A and B are shown apart, each in its own frame.
Chain A
Amino acid sequence: MVLSELKVGEKAEVEGLLAESGVRRRILDMGLVKGTKFKVLRVAPLGDPVEIFFKGMYLSLRKNEAADVLVRKIGETGDGAPMREGRGGRQSGS
């Protein structure tokens, strides 16, 4: 499935990028590479763009761009809080 099909609160992992050159470059630079886990935080009031959270940062992208990101759903938490896992680095206490 693709990122734009995810609902608010769902977590997923990036599997690859469909996009051509320009957009893909920017998405890659932002760190949405294969294996990155993220959570869909919210959708803007008018239904587009969406905001996702990963690696400790908040990123917004239009559904149009989100449709170019191939993802695999890995669960959902349901609330609007950003997830803490999937963030780079060791977790304390582990």
Chain B
Amino acid sequence: MGMRREIRVALAGNPNSGKSSLFNGLTGSHQKVGNFSGVTIEKYEGYVDHQGYRIRFVDLPGTYSLTPYSPEELVTRKFLIEESPDMVVNVVEGPNLERNLLLTTQLMEMEVDLLVAINMYDEVEERGIEIETEQLRGLLGCPVIPTSAKKKQGLEALLDHVVRVFEGDIDIRKNKLGFRPEVDGAIREITGLLRHEPDLSRFNPHWLAIKLLENDREVYGLVRDYPLWLKVERVLQRVLGETERLYRTDPEVVITEDRYAFIRGVMQECVLTPGEGRVSLTDRIDRIVLNRVLGLPIFFFIVWLVFQLTFTLGTPLMDGLDLFFGTIADAVSPLLVNETLRSVIVDGVIAGVGGVLIFLPNIVLLFLGLSFLEASGYMARAAFVVDKVMHRFGLHGKSFIPLITGFGCSIPAIMATRTLKSPSDRLATIMIIPFMSCGAKLPVHILLAGAFFEPSVAGNVVFGIYMFGVVVGLLSALLMKKTVLKSESEPFVMELPPYRWPTARSVFWQSNIKAMMYVRKAGTIILLAVLLIWVASNYPKNPAIDAALERQIATIEAGELSRGAKDVAIADAENSASAEKLEYSVAGRAGRLMEPLIRPLGFDWRIGVALVTGLAAKEVVVSTMGTIYSLGETDETSPELKTILKNDPVFDRATALSLMVFVLLYIPCVAAIGVMRKEVGTWQAVALYSGYALTAAWVFSFLTYRLANLFL
């Protein structure tokens, strides 16, 4: 195979214009897509081979303009300026062309090699909008290609154009937008001045000049250190005076208005929108869903439904898997003659890893529910409905989206806060995300609620725990905002996209990816943790206990009791011997050490050990309990953990609730802590947070335990 030539192409465009969908279609990747702004927050690369070229696409976070507003938008601008890709494909939302073309005009100002992909062309046609692409090409001075990422149309044409532009086969005219004369004059003057500074030659001077007039702080910083700044500043002052006098506003507004004026012209010449027509589906749905009276009840109902379905639909499947692992354990157990090996496999791997794997159906259902919320377009509506509440607690309506993501996993949720502009809003949101019970905590809740509550209420208990997390989170946010994170609240200006049907393909891939991640986690971190726990709860061995047990059994056998009574006595002796052995082990001793701390919450040392190991990953709480409790079990058959817990004297409803609350609130897993550290920037903040979370967990578990003991 010969050397392939590479073409690096950036996909840039407004949020929610379908860049990631197009990227997936072009490169065969499975990046996350969703029907709200700010799904992609980091750049991703992928490639496709076409006509002897390797075309490397870079999927970028969406941005409304090249004067970035929030951290994730900065990524896009930085990439375009600093990494100068060979070409930029500007993905525009066909049905929403007017607003989308604003970014196009800014890309034209950068004078990059530009192609415009009019995406969602299927919707354009469906709505009866006519776009004259030939004319548009003429006005924009760059190739215009209709695409539909959904229907996979226009992708080949897009690739062909990329190659042709790269080969210089298509001439890109790089039209220049005209502004009002005062501004145009100033741009020319400043461009002339900037040309004399060799240090700045890596930037396009025309673009720098426009950005200076737009009051772009970063570009200011770039130019300010050079002697020519004095002259530049004089020009800037002059135009400011002129625009104030003539238009009663500053150059920044004049420039944006002129861009829109150009766009209006383009729209008039190239786009035909049907006039007064039918009311769209979105309008009809929103009349109900965003209704003043029904809006909030519907919101709560939808969230409740997601968790209720996770529980109700998931439980029969879970029970099936549970039975399956139980059967395996029973089948394998007699084959393993070596006692140690048998215990590792049965008590460790099957009870521990299997104990976590059985929750796979619930996890998949949860992610299906969440991805439906994300893909349908309801997410932005929910933010709209609850913004006032969020505002009361010092948060931003948009904080809501990462919080909901947090019900899946804290890690992407913490990263998703990059769509928030104000650092203090971001910090407050990051800090409360772990209180949104994540998918890994779901097994704990389902296990305990399922064991101690009737099936009819168990789903509501789980929902109640989730809501409790939300309340604690909101109150914590308020506390932070009132004390350490005082700040002006961030403005709330958000687009509500039209409702769209999630594509089966993306839903399938998203849940498939989540399922694989869960299984992989079970096979790696959780397996490792389980083996460590097994070792820690088996060693050191105390031969004295075994010897004592044998003597005891011999005494019983020699006694006068009936056969049945003897068996019972022997089983009792065996049970207390295993308990003694467990307590003698490393895990047992460590657990005993911390028992005084958690006793008031209704927990014994075994739960303590599970909580500590749960820091590796929250599912490990369940697998640790699986291993420890099944080591304690001496039965020939392996009963489900649920049954063991039900029969355990330490456990009752109060303990179960208290444990759910503790797991809900205490320190998140190490992976989440790591991401938190990265996004927040300091360990101190994370340490402070961990202390806070632990305290909150302890206090609320204590209250739960006491109250539950009083009332249940």
Hey, which bits of chain A sit against chain B, CB under 8 A? 16-17, 21-31, 33-35, 41-49, 51, 55-62, 64-65, 80-82, 84-85, 87-94
Instruction: Evaluate contact between B260 and A33: CB separation under 8 angstroms.
Output: yes
Instruction: Evaluate contact between A89 and B272: CB separation under 8 angstroms.
Output: yes
Name B69's closest neighbour in chain A (CB-CB): A26
Name B271's closest neighbour in chain A (CB-CB): A89
Stretch of B48-56, B276-284, B589-597 that contacts chain A: B276-284
Asked if B42 is an interface residue, CB under 8 A from chain A, the answer is no
User: How many A-B residue pairs lie within 8 Å, measured between CB atoms?
Assistant: 163
Instruction: Evaluate contact between B99 and A57: CB separation under 8 angstroms.
Output: yes
Q: Which of B99, B380, B388, B496 contacts A48 (CB 8 A)?
A: B388
Name A47's closest neighbour in chain B (CB-CB): B388
B568-590 CB contact bits vs A (8 Å, 1 = yes)? 00000000000000000000000
By a CB distance below 8 angstroms, the chain B residues around A58 are 282, 495-498
> How many residues does chain B have at the interface if contact means C-beta atoms less than 8 Å apart?
61
From residue 279 to 301 of chain B, which have CB atoms closer than 8 A to chain A?
Answer: 279-280, 282-283, 286-287, 290-296
Instruction: Evaluate contact between B387 and A49: CB separation under 8 angstroms.
Output: yes
The 21 listed contacts between A and B (C-beta, < 8 Å) are A17-B253, A25-B252, A29-B67, A29-B256, A31-B260, A44-B295, A44-B388, A45-B290, A45-B293, A48-B391, A49-B384, A49-B387, A55-B96, A55-B98, A57-B96, A60-B495, A62-B491, A84-B275, A85-B276, A90-B272, A94-B275
Asked if B263 is an interface residue, CB under 8 A from chain A, the answer is yes
Instruction: Evaluate contact between B276 and A51: CB separation under 8 angstroms.
Output: no
Smallest CB–CB gap between B555 and chain A, Å? 73
Instruction: Evaluate contact between B295 and A92: CB separation under 8 angstroms.
Output: no
By a CB distance below 8 angstroms, the chain A residues around B493 are 23, 26-27, 30, 59-62, 65
By a CB distance below 8 angstroms, the chain A residues around B391 are 48, 62
- Asked whether A64 and B491 contact (CB < 8 A) given A55-B99, A57-B96, the answer is yes
Distance of A91 Cα from B268 Cα, bound (Å)? 9
Smallest CB–CB gap between A73 and chain B, Å? 20
From B96, B282, B492, name the one whose CB has the most chain A CB atoms within 10 angstroms.
Answer: B492
Distance of A4 Cα from B285 Cα, bound (Å)? 24
Instruction: Evaluate contact between B95 and A45: CB separation under 8 angstroms.
Output: no
Smallest CB–CB gap between A6 and chain B, Å? 16
By a CB distance below 8 angstroms, the chain A residues around B292 are 42-45
The list of the 10 closest CB pairs from A to B, nearest first, reads A45-B295, A88-B267, A46-B388, A89-B271, A88-B98, A29-B64, A58-B496, A23-B491, A91-B275, A29-B65
Smallest CB–CB gap between A13 and chain B, Å? 14
Instruction: Evaluate contact between A92 and B273: CB separation under 8 angstroms.
Output: yes
Smallest CB–CB gap between A35 and chain B, Å? 8
B243-276 CB contact bits vs A (8 Å, 1 = yes)? 0000011001100110010011001101111111
Instruction: Evaluate contact between A33 and B256: CB separation under 8 angstroms.
Output: yes
Instruction: Evaluate contact between A65 and B271: CB separation under 8 angstroms.
Output: no
From A41, A81, A89, name the one whose CB has the most chain B CB atoms within 10 angstroms.
Answer: A89
Distance of A44 Cα from B389 Cα, bound (Å)? 11
User: Other than the known A24-B253, A44-B384, what 10 A-B pairs have Cβ atoms closer than 8 Å?
Assistant: A30-B493, A31-B99, A31-B102, A44-B385, A60-B495, A61-B491, A64-B491, A80-B287, A81-B279, A87-B98
Distance of A81 Cα from B99 Cα, bound (Å)? 21
Smallest CB–CB gap between A72 and chain B, Å? 16
Smallest CB–CB gap between B662 and chain A, Å? 33
Distance of A35 Cα from B67 Cα, bound (Å)? 22
By a CB distance below 8 angstroms, the chain A residues around B291 are 45
Smallest CB–CB gap between B423 and chain A, Å? 13
Name B66's closest neighbour in chain A (CB-CB): A29
From B271, B275, B389, name the one whose CB has the most chain A CB atoms within 10 angstroms.
Answer: B275
Q: Which of A28, A47, A90 contacts B273 (CB 8 A)?
A: A90
Smallest CB–CB gap between A53 and chain B, Å? 9
Asked if B494 is an interface residue, CB under 8 A from chain A, the answer is yes
- Asked whether A22 and B421 contact (CB < 8 A) given A48-B387, A57-B96, the answer is yes
